[in-house]
Chains A and B, each alone.
Chain A
Amino acid sequence: MAGAEAAPAIALQDLGRAYGERVALSGVTLSLARGQTLAVFGANGAGKTTLLRVLATLLRPHAGEVVVLGRRLPREGWAVRGRVGLLAHEPLLYRDLTARENLRFHARLHGVAGGRGEELLEAVGMARRGDEPVRSLSRGMAQRVAICRALLHEPELLLLDEPLANLDPGAAGAVAPLVGRGSGATRVLISHDVEQGLAEADLVLGLRGGRPALLAPAGAVSADDVRGLYR
């Protein structure tokens, strides 16, 4: 177990994943130390979300080796679940439940005390709207509740798919300490905001057609290098 704790947060070796005939990811090899941030860039359909879902144990890798938090996937997925927080494109919230009810539901699944949800709602400025059904919230508000859901169990690894999408500057400022560098968690961050993504990153991965087109420390990557991925 001590070895597992000392291992990198993420170690990928020739990771591949396909949907039927279509290859979504191929030949992804990288290592991310604990506490660091990997920024993932790429055009739509480049494989970013697939990578996130593999790391979250929601998709099985079809090729290569995947080690997350010292555990090999998919075999040891059970040991990784509950240590990972996923903020996906969809908020993963039940629309007919209120924000508080959603958080209570996820808190029970994760074995977390109810007070943690309240604390997070307060932190993202949603405490006053917490008793409204999610279906009545704006996209930005639902995104804030989704951030609370992803952070409820204080995950060691944060998988963030455009965490600031739909947020106004005030809300973005409120969630920054929770999902930004200050969170202290290891992060994989998908972003289309090149400058901001680079500023947050320690390591940069650029995907094109599911294959790595760019992999370098953030300091060695310019914004133009990243923009090249979208051409």
Chain B
Amino acid sequence: MRRAVEAVVRKDLRVELRTGEAVPAMLLFSVSTFVLFHFALDRRSVEGDLAAGVLWVTLLFAAVLGITRLFVAEREQGGFDGFLLAPVDRTSLFVAKAAVLFCFLVAVELAAVPAFAILLLEPSPWGAVPELVAVLLLADLGVAVVGTLIGALGIQTRARELIVPILALPLMLPLAIAAARATSPLLLEAGAQALPGRWLVVLGLYDLVFGLLAFAVFDFLLEE
């Protein structure tokens, strides 16, 4: 499995570096949304629950853009057939695509989170960076798992641009709640508080449950 996962990850990252079809669009969307929030909320800055909500809603919508693009080359350029003809475990395609989506999310957040801090955030987030990174990584893992599952499902349909958000956003609701609740105390005007451990556990459980589910059903999604 490792050989196939490495091959697909390398291929996808190379294509993204060459074409820039997913990450720049996700990043531009995120920054534009922060600017919109800045004006729409008519506030110079946000903190606490509102800041966490704005951050996570924006990142999840940006993720949907990446999910929609995740399997396009496989569908339009025969990548699915090429992969299915190889003597490799089909689940390795799931693992590889989830890893690629995870990389895309991290790349977007490296620029989008500082942009959020500059454009909208009143308290300085720098004191709580390790905790914020932990929440981001756990949530990204969940988005990558669910997103890969939905992306594989959506690509089989004609209306993938509609199907992906319709399926992905409700499925990611628990993740959005847990991520926002975990982030909120880190973004308080009075200063960052301790990371609420139970929301991290919820995020971890979400990742585990959907990871196992995706592992079990992904093979069937590749059937014609």
Which residues of A are interface residues toward B (Cβ below 8 A)?
56-60, 78, 81-84, 86, 88, 90-97, 101, 105-106, 108-111, 149
A88 to B82, CA, bound (A): 10
- A105 lies within 8 A of B7 (CB): yes
A167 to B223, CA, bound (A): 33
In terms of DSSP, what is the predominant structure of the interface of chain B?
helix
B3 — which chain A residues lie within 8 A by C-beta? Answer: 108-109, 111
B173 — which chain A residues lie within 8 A by C-beta? Answer: none
Contact segment of B14-22, B25-33, B54-62, B129-137: B14-22
- B18 lies within 8 A of A92 (CB): no
- A58 lies within 8 A of B87 (CB): no
Q: What per-residue 1/0 map shows which CB atoms of B61-99 lie under 8 Å from chain A?
A: 000000000000100011101111111100000000000
Closest chain B CB from A120 CB (angstroms) = 16
Which of B6, B79, B85, B224 has most chain A Cβ within 10 Å?
Answer: B85
Q: Which residue of the partner chain, among B15, B18, B19, B87, contacts A81 with CB atoms under 8 Å?
A: B87
Which of B3, B6, B10, B87 has most chain A Cβ within 10 Å?
Answer: B87
Q: Which residue of the partner chain, among B4, B14, B15, B18, contacts A109 with CB atoms under 8 Å?
A: B4
Closest chain B CB from A154 CB (angstroms) = 13
A86 — which chain B residues lie within 8 A by C-beta? Answer: 81, 85
A58 to B81, CA, bound (A): 7
Which residues of B are interface residues toward A (Cβ below 8 A)?
3-4, 6-7, 10-11, 14-15, 18-19, 73, 77-79, 81-88, 223-224
- B11 lies within 8 A of A81 (CB): no
A94 — which chain B residues lie within 8 A by C-beta? Answer: 11, 15, 73, 77, 79
A90 to B73, CA, bound (A): 13
Given that A88-B78, A91-B78 are contacting pairs, would A58 and B85 also be in contact in the complex, using a CB cutoff of 8 Å? yes
B15 — which chain A residues lie within 8 A by C-beta? Answer: 94, 96-97
- B77 lies within 8 A of A60 (CB): no
- A106 lies within 8 A of B18 (CB): no
A92 — which chain B residues lie within 8 A by C-beta? Answer: 77-79, 81-82
B73 — which chain A residues lie within 8 A by C-beta? Answer: 94, 96
- A110 lies within 8 A of B14 (CB): no
B83 — which chain A residues lie within 8 A by C-beta? Answer: 109
Closest chain B CB from A76 CB (angstroms) = 12
A96 — which chain B residues lie within 8 A by C-beta? Answer: 15, 18-19, 73
- A59 lies within 8 A of B78 (CB): no
Other contacts beyond A109-B4, A109-B86: 18, CB < 8 A: A58-B85, A78-B87, A81-B87, A82-B87, A84-B85, A86-B81, A90-B78, A92-B78, A92-B79, A92-B81, A92-B82, A93-B77, A96-B15, A96-B19, A105-B10, A106-B86, A108-B7, A109-B3
A97 to B81, CA, bound (A): 17
Can you give 14 contacting A-B residue pairs, CB < 8 Å?
Answer: A60-B223, A81-B85, A82-B86, A86-B85, A88-B81, A90-B78, A90-B81, A96-B19, A108-B4, A108-B6, A109-B4, A109-B82, A109-B86, A111-B87
Closest chain B CB from A79 CB (angstroms) = 9
- A97 lies within 8 A of B86 (CB): no
A149 — which chain B residues lie within 8 A by C-beta? Answer: 82
Given that A81-B85, A108-B6 are contacting pairs, would A97 and B14 also be in contact in the complex, using a CB cutoff of 8 Å? yes
Chain B: CB-nearest residue to A78: B87
A93 to B74, CA, bound (A): 10
Q: Which residue of the partner chain, among B81, B86, B224, contacts A60 with CB atoms under 8 Å?
A: B224
A101 — which chain B residues lie within 8 A by C-beta? Answer: 11, 14
Closest chain B CB from A46 CB (angstroms) = 19
B77 — which chain A residues lie within 8 A by C-beta? Answer: 90, 92-95
Chain B: CB-nearest residue to A107: B7
